[in-house]
């Protein structure tokens, strides 16, 4: 090493040390601290997300633990009578027939529009109305005859039975002697059972007071039909093979 | 201070004072930068270790909770079925407007009022009613009935769309209104 450089280093040692410190700090900061800081920030945001998820899971677990499986199963069974998982044409026919008879009317005509389809549930296209309601619709037209007060009673009963129905078009003709003939279009509803649950972190809320009231209201509606469900398997039982004898 | 006047290899007496002042400044800056570097690094390291520990704990909690929730998936499924059906039921009951309108109208209309047929249909929330009163007198009575229903806030936006008179004396009336859902 030349003598002049050695003399310079000896004379400016502390200066060079300071410059070296600055260089190390700047270089180390740029190549080490910045990526490290970025990693710490990523870890922080991930931890925050994790904390939120754990909060949601804790809440969900608390809600699920507070629910009673037996009463939920009963609620589900009762609600399935109001909105079955399949079209259940038989229960619709039975409901309309039973309601007509109990109202003191005679059933003169009944048509069910497209009671069955060769397409699978996934292939069936939902109409705009079905999408709005969130359920499939099975339409029927019915003609009943009898005294006008009984026709009024029939209309009133239709909105207070367990298989939920909606009256569309109505035509009432009054005949001689206060006898009336009513022709109605009636929609019944169905919704297939879910095949999969949502994401584990999907929120779950207990039934609100309004939902509880609605449940009580639906429970108060009489069931106007009998099904195999009375003594048969629960609705979670696996589907039986339709081709077995 | 002009650095161009300082010769580091051969400092003059005036330049030497400037050089030592600059050296002192650089030394201070150097220590400051180094301290900052060390402090930031240490804090980052501490934060990293703490966050790793926290994340590890949270991951463990998440795993435990996931298993616990999966054990309750039957309850979740039942709840989902009931909740979805309650939502649908709520919407169905809310859209029974036509039904309610029919009931409201049939309460008012009877053979005593001379009505021989009523027909109702609904489109875009508007209910159209076709009435066939027996004569013009009954027709005016029907209009009064609808007016009273409007006053009782059972219907709104009622219009008389058409009136026709058949040779047999029957009057055909078409009205439309929007039922008020309560």
Complex ipTM, two decimals? Answer: 0.74
Range of the domain at B39: 3-67
State the number of CA atoms in the 13 A half-sphere of A30 facing the CB: 5
Query: Would A74 be classed as within a structural domain?
Result: no
Cβ–Cβ of A194/B77 closer than 8 Å?
A: yes
Kindly state the tokens that stand for B88.
């649908």
The whole-angstrom distance between B33's CA and the closest CA on chain A is 6
pLDDT score at A126: 75
- Out of A54, A172, A193, name the one closest to residue B65 (CB): A54
Q: Could you tell me if A38 and A112 lie in one domain?
A: no
Query: Would A231 be classed as within a structural domain?
Result: no
Instruction: Find the mean pLDDT for residues A175-186.
Output: 81
**Which among A112, A99, A244 has a CA at the least distance from the CA of A190?**
A112
Cβ–Cβ of A82/B44 closer than 8 Å?
A: no
Predicted confidence band at A179 (pLDDT cuts at 50, 70, 90)?
confident
CA-CA distance, A186 to B102, in Å (whole number)? 13
Q: Could you tell me if A98 and A166 lie in one domain?
A: yes
Q: Could you tell me if A98 and A161 lie in one domain?
A: yes
**Which among A113, A44, A236, A132 has a CA at the least distance from the CA of B92?**
A132
- Out of B31, B66, B85, name the one closest to residue A79 (CB): B85
- Out of A36, A73, A159, name the one closest to residue B96 (CB): A159
pLDDT score at B12: 55
CA-CA distance, A11 to A15, in Å (whole number)? 9
pLDDT score at A238: 43
Provide the terminal-to-terminal Cα distance of chain B, rounded to the nearest Å: 87
CA-CA distance, A36 to B51, in Å (whole number)? 13
CA-CA distance, B114 to B136, in Å (whole number)? 10
Query: Would A197 be classed as within a structural domain?
Result: no
Query: Can you give the pTM of this predicted structure?
Result: 0.68
A96 alpha carbon, distance to own chain's centre:
27
- Out of A51, A73, A172, name the one closest to residue B58 (CB): A51
CA-CA distance, A99 to B67, in Å (whole number)? 48
**Count: domains in chain A:** 2
Instruction: Find the mean pLDDT for residues A166-189.
Output: 82
pLDDT score at A41: 94
Alpha helices (runs of H) in A12-165, residue ranges in sequence order: 13-28, 34-66, 69-82, 89-102, 128-133, 148-158
Q: Is B101 in CB contact (< 8 Å) with chain A?
A: no
Environment class of A158 (CB within 10 Å of its CB; exposed 0-12, middle 13-18, buried 19+): buried
The whole-angstrom distance between A245's CA and the closest CA on chain B is 31
Query: Would B152 be classed as within a structural domain?
Result: yes
| Contact indicator for B173, B163 with CB cutoff of 8 Å | yes
Kindly state the tokens that stand for A118.
């060769």
CATH of the domain at A185: 3.30.70.60
Q: Could you tell me if A93 and A182 lie in one domain?
A: yes
Residues of B in contact with A18 (CB under 8 A): 23, 26-27, 29-31
Provide φ and ψ at A206, rounded to 5°: -65, 160
CB count within 10 Å of CB A18 equals 22
The neighbouring-strand residues paired with A147 are A179
Q: Could you tell me if B104 and B171 lie in one domain?
A: yes
Cβ–Cβ of B81/A76 closer than 8 Å?
A: yes
CA-CA distance, A207 to A213, in Å (whole number)? 10
pLDDT score at B42: 93
Q: Could you tell me if A164 and A97 lie in one domain?
A: yes
Query: Would A161 be classed as within a structural domain?
Result: yes
CA-CA distance, B81 to B73, in Å (whole number)? 12
Element (H or E) spanning A210, and its range?
helix A209-220
CA-CA distance, B37 to A33, in Å (whole number)? 8
Instruction: Find the mean pLDDT for residues A190-204.
Output: 83
CA–CA distances in Å: residue B2 to residues A216, A244, B182: 91, 103, 88
Render pLDDT for A12-49 as a digit per residue (tens, 0 to 9).
787 788 888 889 888 988 898 899 999 999 999 999 99
Q: Could you tell me if B9 and B50 lie in one domain?
A: yes
> CA-based Rg of chain A, rounded to a whole angstrom?
36
Residues of A in contact with B23 (CB under 8 A): 12, 14-15, 18
Render pLDDT for A80-120 as a digit per residue (tens, 0 to 9).
989 998 888 888 888 898 899 888 899 888 888 877 655 55
| Contact indicator for A140, A114 with CB cutoff of 8 Å | no
Q: Could you tell me if A47 and A94 lie in one domain?
A: no
Torsion of CA B86, B91, B93, B95, to 10 degrees: -170
CA-CA distance, A80 to A164, in Å (whole number)? 10
- Out of B54, B84, B110, name the one closest to residue A191 (CB): B84
Query: Would B39 be classed as within a structural domain?
Result: yes
The neighbouring-strand residues paired with A173 are A181, B117
Range of the domain at A45: 3-51
Query: Would A185 be classed as within a structural domain?
Result: yes
pLDDT score at B54: 94
Interchain CB contacts (distance < 8 Å): A and B: 231
Is pLDDT larger for residue A240 or for residue A125?
A125
Q: Could you tell me if A35 and A139 lie in one domain?
A: no
Q: Could you tell me if A27 and A88 lie in one domain?
A: no
Q: Could you tell me if B104 and B44 lie in one domain?
A: no
The residues near A1 (Cβ < 8 Å, ≥ 6 apart) are none
Q: Which residue positions in chain B have pLDDT lower than 70?
A: 1-15, 95-114, 122-126, 134, 179-182
Provide φ and ψ at B68, rounded to 5°: -65, -40
**Complete edge-to-edge strand list for the sheet that includes strand B115-123:** A106-112, A136-147, A179-190, A165-174, B115-123, B126-133, B171-179, B155-165
Q: Could you tell me if A44 and A95 lie in one domain?
A: no
Query: Would B78 be classed as within a structural domain?
Result: no
Provide φ and ψ at A196, rounded to 5°: -145, 150
Buried (b) or exposed (e) across A211-230, using 16+ Cβ within 10 A?
Answer: beebbeebeebebbbeeeee
**Count: domains in chain B:** 2
Q: Is B31 in CB contact (< 8 Å) with chain A?
A: yes
């Amino acid at each position: 090493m030349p003598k002049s450089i050695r003399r310079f280093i000896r004379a400016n040692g502390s200066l060079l040390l300071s410059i070296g410190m600055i260089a190390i700090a700047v270089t180390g900061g740029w190549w080490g601290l910045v990526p490290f800081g970025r990693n710490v920030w990523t870890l922080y945001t991930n931890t925050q997300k994790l904390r939120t998820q754990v909060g949601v899971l804790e809440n969900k677990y608390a809600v699920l633990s507070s629910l009673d499986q037996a009463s939920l199963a009963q609620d589900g069974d009762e609600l399935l009578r109001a909105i079955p998982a399949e079209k259940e044409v038989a229960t619709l026919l039975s409901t309309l027939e039973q309601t007509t008879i109990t109202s003191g009317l005679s059933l003169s005509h009944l048509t069910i529009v497209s009671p069955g389809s060769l397409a699978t549930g996934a292939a069936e296209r939902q109409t705009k109305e079905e999408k709005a309601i969130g359920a499939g619709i099975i339409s029927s037209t019915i003609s009943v005859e009898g005294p006008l007060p009984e026709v009024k009673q029939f209309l009133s009963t239709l909105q207070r039975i367990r298989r939920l129905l909606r009256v569309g078009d109505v035509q009432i003709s009054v005949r001689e002697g206060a006898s009336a003939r009513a022709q109605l279009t009636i929609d019944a509803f169905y919704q297939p059972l879910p095949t999969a649950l949502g994401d584990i972190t999907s929120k779950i809320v207990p039934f609100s007071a309004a939902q509880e009231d609605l449940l009580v209201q639906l429970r108060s509606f009489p069931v106007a039909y009998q099904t195999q469900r009375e003594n048969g398997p629960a609705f979670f039982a696996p589907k039986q093979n339709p081709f077995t004898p | 201070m002009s650095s161009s006047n300082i010769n580091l290899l051969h400092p003059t007496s005036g330049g030497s004072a400037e050089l030592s002042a600059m050296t002192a400044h650089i030394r201070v800056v150097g220590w400051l930068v180094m301290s900052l570097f060390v402090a930031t690094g240490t804090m980052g390291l501490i934060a990293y270790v703490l966050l790793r520990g926290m994340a590890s704990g949270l991951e463990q909690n998440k795993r435990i909770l996931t298993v616990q929730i999966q054990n309750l998936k039957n309850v979740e499924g039942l709840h989902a079925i009931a909740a979805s059906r309650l939502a649908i039921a709520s919407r169905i009951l809310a859209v029974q407007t036509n039904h309610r309108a029919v009931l409201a109208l049939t309460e008012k209309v009877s053979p005593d009022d001379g009505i021989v047929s009523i027909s109702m249909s609904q489109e875009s929330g508007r209910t159209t009613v076709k009435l066939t009163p027996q004569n013009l007198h009954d027709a005016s009575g029907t209009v009064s009935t609808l007016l009273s229903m409007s006053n009782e806030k059972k219907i709104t936006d009622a219009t008389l769309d058409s009136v026709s008179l058949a040779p047999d004396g029957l009057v055909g009336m078409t009205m439309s209104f929007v039922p008020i859902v309560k």
